[in-house]
């Protein structure tokens, strides 16, 4: 897809533009202490856990962090890469690939990333962008579907940082891109590329593609959060793009925490049921994660795989997330470019998929 931007006749060198990719976050190391610090920040966010703070902090500090810190550290250690945390490694690759794409298309913009929890934090990166001369910043969450516990809290953190600035930069936000055609095409291309390399499921024989999204408490849907509906929208568009039917492609939700009801159906029990029902092969893909992380590599690739195989399934495939695939970087560039329109990005030609 190609599109035109309204270009300034005289770009002003002082009006620098920046793109800040925002992801959830990760511990700095796969150790109990580092994981506890990360979880303490993450689980203390009132948008993540909507329980009165005094009650929740007692539970968190006395019961959850001591035990979950050790258990989670073991899981992080199992997926840790030589370069570091998978989420950080893939996010850095996305940043570098997006920089190259924008540079090739003569977009003179700064591209950086921040983590909502952990480092580098959003306030620190906004200050760094200001020091680099950025007067306009596009906040680009790496969450395709909007949720108050992901997108909204990232914006909260950014706006709280702006509140402390005397000379604020101009800010734009990308709320969601759950139905963006380029995003859907990149998802379909990722699945097709995997099937081309590893063989595709035999759908007439009953094999399944499971689309697993991160779960949230069901009460968030009842309170008006659009996340559930946007996940269903993404799944329907991807299913159609792949030429599959709802029978061949299931939608589930993973990473449930606590005793409250979360969005259903749950991923692990669904895979267990499929295995017990005689489904030979199950492929699981996580469209809501733009980069592989603990929840996709360990939870899906190890825990959910074992549930399926132990229940009677014969062949399990975890399709990697978008990461820095050419199709996703092209889609990311298109979404970013559309949201930069009207700003002095110094482009002399419209952005095209050049990667």
Parallel/antiparallel/unpaired status of strands 16-25 and 208-214: unpaired
Is the pTM of the predicted complex or chain greater than 0.75? yes
Phi, psi dihedral angles at 153 (to 5 degrees): -70, -30
Q: Answer yes or no: are the C-beta atoms of 150 and 31 closer than 8 Å.
A: no
Q: Alpha-carbon distance 336 to 178, whole Å?
A: 14
- Whether omega for the bond prior to residue 245 falls within 30 degrees of 0, making it cis, is no
- pLDDT 10s per residue in the chain (355 long)? 444 444 343 344 446 999 999 999 999 999 999 999 999 999 999 999 999 999 999 999 999 999 899 999 999 999 999 999 999 999 999 999 999 999 999 999 999 999 999 999 999 999 999 999 999 999 999 999 999 999 999 999 999 999 999 999 999 999 999 999 999 999 999 999 999 999 999 999 999 999 999 999 999 999 999 999 999 999 999 999 999 999 999 999 999 988 889 999 999 999 999 999 999 999 999 999 999 999 999 999 999 999 999 999 999 999 999 999 999 999 999 999 999 999 998 654 445 444 4
Residue 295 is assigned to a ligand binding site: yes
Q: Alpha-carbon distance 164 to 32, whole Å?
A: 33
Residue 214 is assigned to a ligand binding site: yes
Letter string b/e over residues 23-61, b meaning 16 or more CB atoms within 10 A of that residue's CB: bbbbbbbbebebbbbbbbbbbeeebbbeeeeeebeeebe
Task: Kindly calculate the radius of gyration of the chain based on its CA atoms and give it in whole angstroms.
Answer: 21
HSE on the CB side for 116, CA within 13 Å?
A: 27
- Structural domains of the chain sorted by starting position, each given as residue range(s) with its CATH number in brackets: 16-177+326-339 (3.40.50.1400), 181-318 (3.40.50.1400)
Dihedral sign, Cα of residue 16, residue 186, residue 180, residue 160: negative
Closest CA to 180 of 19, 293, 25, 322: 322
């Amino acid at each position: 897809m190609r599109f035109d931007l309204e270009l300034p006749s005289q770009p002003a060198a002082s009006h620098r533009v920046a793109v800040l990719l925002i992801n959830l976050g990760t511990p700095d190391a796969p150790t109990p202490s580092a994981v506890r610090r990360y979880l303490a920040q993450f689980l203390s966010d009132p948008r993540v856990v909507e329980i009165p703070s005094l009650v929740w902090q007692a539970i968190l500090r006395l019961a959850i962090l001591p035990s979950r810190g050790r258990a989670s550290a073991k899981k992080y250690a199992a997926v840790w890469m030589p370069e570091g945390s998978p989420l950080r490694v893939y996010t850095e690759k996305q940043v570098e690939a997006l920089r190259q794409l924008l540079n090739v298309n003569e977009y003179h913009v700064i591209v950086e990333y921040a983590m909502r929890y952990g480092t580098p934090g959003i306030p620190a990166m906004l200050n760094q962008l200001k020091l680099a001369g950025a007067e306009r910043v596009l906040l680009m969450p790496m969450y395709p579907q909007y949720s108050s516990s992901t997108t909204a809290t990232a914006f909260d953190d950014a706006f709280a940082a702006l509140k402390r600035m005397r000379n604020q930069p101009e800010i734009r936000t990308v709320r969601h891109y759950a139905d963006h055609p380029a995003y859907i095409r990149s998802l379909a291309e990722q699945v097709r590329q995997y099937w081309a390399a590893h063989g595709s499921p035999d759908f007439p024989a009953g094999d399944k593609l499971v689309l697993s999204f991160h779960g949230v408490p069901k009460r968030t849907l009842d309170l008006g959060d659009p996340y559930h509906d946007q996940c269903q929208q993404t799944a329907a568009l991807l299913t159609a793009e792949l030429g599959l039917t709802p029978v061949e492609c299931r939608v589930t939700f993973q990473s449930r925490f606590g005793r409250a009801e979360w969005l259903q159906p749950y991923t692990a029990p669904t895979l267990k049921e499929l295995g017990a029902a005689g489904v030979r092969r199950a492929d699981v893909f996580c469209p809501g994660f733009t980069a592989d992380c603990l929840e996709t590599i360990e939870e899906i690739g190890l825990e959910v795989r074992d549930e399926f195989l132990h229940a009677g399934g014969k062949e399990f495939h975890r399709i990697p997330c978008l990461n820095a695939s050419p199709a996703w970087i092209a889609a990311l560039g298109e979404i970013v470019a559309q949201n930069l329109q009207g700003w002095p990005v110094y482009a002399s030609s419209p952005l095209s998929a050049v990667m």
